Amino acid sequence: MENTNNQTNKQSGNQEIKPSFAFGRMNYVLMGAGLIVLALGYILLAGGGSDDPNTFNPAMFDNRRLVVAPILIVVGFVVEILAIMYKGKKE
């Protein structure tokens, strides 16, 4: 058993093993962009409530919260999926 381990170590000692990451640089850039778009969507979605439950605040139903923010959130998730699936250039 000891002899087998020595042979394996000698064989792998001749070859230099380079560490490789799961994703490339472009994947991480796309992931960062997707996170920024997601954060912006959630920030735009926030607010519009009222401190007094007896008063109605129509700001809750404005265009920003009903249209723009959900679109940004969906776009952010699509960018994240594309960032994970992006293969990049083969070297």
Grouping H, G, I as helix, E, B as strand and the rest as coil, residue 47 is: coil
- Between 32 and 90, name the one with better pLDDT: 32
Convert the pLDDT of each residue in 41-91 to its tens digit: 999 999 877 788 888 888 888 999 999 999 999 999 999 999 999 987 765
- At 58, list the tokens: 């129509």
What CA–CA distance (Å, rounded) separates 83 from 88?
Answer: 10
Is a pLDDT exceeding 70 seen at residue 14? Answer: no
Domain ranges of the chain: 19-85
Is a pLDDT exceeding 70 seen at residue 13? Answer: no
Give the predicted TM-score (pTM) of the model. Answer: 0.71
Q: Which stretch of DSSP H or E encloses residue 36?
A: helix 25-45
- At 4, list the tokens: 């087998």
Say which residues have a Cβ less than 8 Å from residue 55's Cβ, sequence separation at least 6: none
Grouping H, G, I as helix, E, B as strand and the rest as coil, residue 26 is: helix
Per-residue model confidence (pLDDT) at position 57? 81
Q: Which stretch of DSSP H or E encloses residue 85?
A: helix 69-85
